[in-house]
Structure formats: structure tokens, C-alpha cells
Structure 1
């Protein structure tokens, strides 16, 4: 179970960069191919860029070519899913289970050879990487 992290908008603005705030708190999206972790494949754990909750293990990251970090599964209980009907389509938004920060979207059935047949398309700015020691 993930402990809840509750902060006011002012508290989030004080600890996040403007780009982090725009993505994590306002559900924005970074430009494809520009994120720090798009082509990053070191061993370790990716945590929430807002609250530090562990979200993804590097073993679940794969090369999707989509322009954002892609994972086939999250750490159990770390990510929540929500229906997103913005932009004239229905997608599945993923958020940090602890702080509610917007991570990106999850897609199924794209033909990637992953155990879950899912692609968690995550904004780099929503993540922080911690090298495995």
C-alpha cells in the first residue's frame, strides 16, 4: 500500500520545476524525444518526480520508439488508472498512487513482445531515476 502525499498547489509549485508542475499537476505532456529517460537503460528504479514513490523497475522498461519512456508494468500498487476522454478520444491515464501526479497513459494491444501487452507511456519529467546499488 502506498502512503498518501497531500500538498497544496502552492506547496507543489515550491518544490517542482515549472515543467514538472505542468505535467505532474496539470496533466501536461512533454515533447516526444526530449525527455531525459527516453533512451535511458541503466539498472535501477524510477520514482515519482513529485513525491519519490517507487513506480517502475528498470527491468520493465523497453524500447518502444514512441519518444517517451515505455514500461510494460508498474510496481504493484504504485500506479492508478483513470479513464481520460480528453482530445476527442478515450485513453487510460496513469497517475502516481501516492500523490496523484500525472505520469502519462497506458496502451494495450500494440503488438510489443511484452509479458503484459501494455505500454506505459510516461513523461520523463514525471520520473526520477535511482541507480541500483
Structure 2
């Protein structure tokens, strides 16, 4: 999904643009979905691609929504060397929007912790 930057600026809020298009990060413990545990699907706020299901979400205590598994094919992984460390950035496979990072310190059997900015997500309830 290719959009011109002006189109993204018109579609997204200023805060969403900073995160999704400029790889920003929201402050911890401030996001709408950090402590959100309803049944449903979390989708990319940029293009509405389903990314995570509620049954993969857990409270990691890190201050951002955390998931132990993404919907197959929904995420692309990129090496991130910013902030003087090596991390794995996660972006939406459809629109390239920055979502957050994935770490190998999750408490479930996957061993993964997808640490995601709330502003990069929309939620669709199962009900």
C-alpha cells in the first residue's frame, strides 16, 4: 500500500503520523490499549490490516500493549540500530507503518514480546 506522505498526514492524527510514519514512540503507560483486554482484533491504524488477536495479548508491565504472536504475514521485521542498541523493529506488512519492536523475553511459550504503540493500532471488538 503506497501513499504519498501528504496523504498520510491527512489521514492520521499528528501523534499517529509521528509513530507510524516517523518511527516515534508514545510515552509508556499512556496508550489506550496498554491495559485493554476485550475480545477482538487489533488492526493497523494506518491501513486497517489485522495484526494481533486479543488472545495473544498479555500484561508485560512494560507500559505498552504486548502480544506474544502476530497474525501470520501481517508483520515485517527490520533491524533497528537506533539508541545505540540492536533491536528488531516491527512494521505493518501492508503499509510499512512503524508499530514498535519485538523482543525475545516474552513469558509465554512463544518467548516473544511484541511491544506495540497504542497509537499505531485500532481495535475491533468481537461483539
Report if TM-score (shorter chain) is over 0.5.
Answer: yes
Partner of 2:64: 68
Task: Please identify runs of 4+ aligned residues in structure 1 that moved more than 2 A.
Answer: none
Instruction: Indicate the SS of the match to 1:73.
Output: coil
Is 1:115 matched with 2:121? no
Structure-2 separation of matches of 1:47 and 1:6: 18
| Structure 2 unmatched runs, 5+ | none
Partner of 2:16: 20
Instruction: Indicate the SS of the match to 1:34.
Output: coil
Structure-1 separation of matches of 2:22 and 2:92: 13
Structure-2 separation of matches of 1:68 and 1:113: 15
| Structure 1 unmatched runs, 5+ | none
Partner of 2:3: 7
Structure-1 separation of matches of 2:83 and 2:3: 28
Is 1:91 matched with 2:84? no
Q: Displacement of 1:66 after TM fit?
A: 0.3
Is 1:33 matched with 2:20? no
Q: Displacement of 1:115 after TM fit?
A: 2.0
Structure-2 separation of matches of 1:122 and 1:6: 22
Q: Displacement of 1:70 after TM fit?
A: 0.1
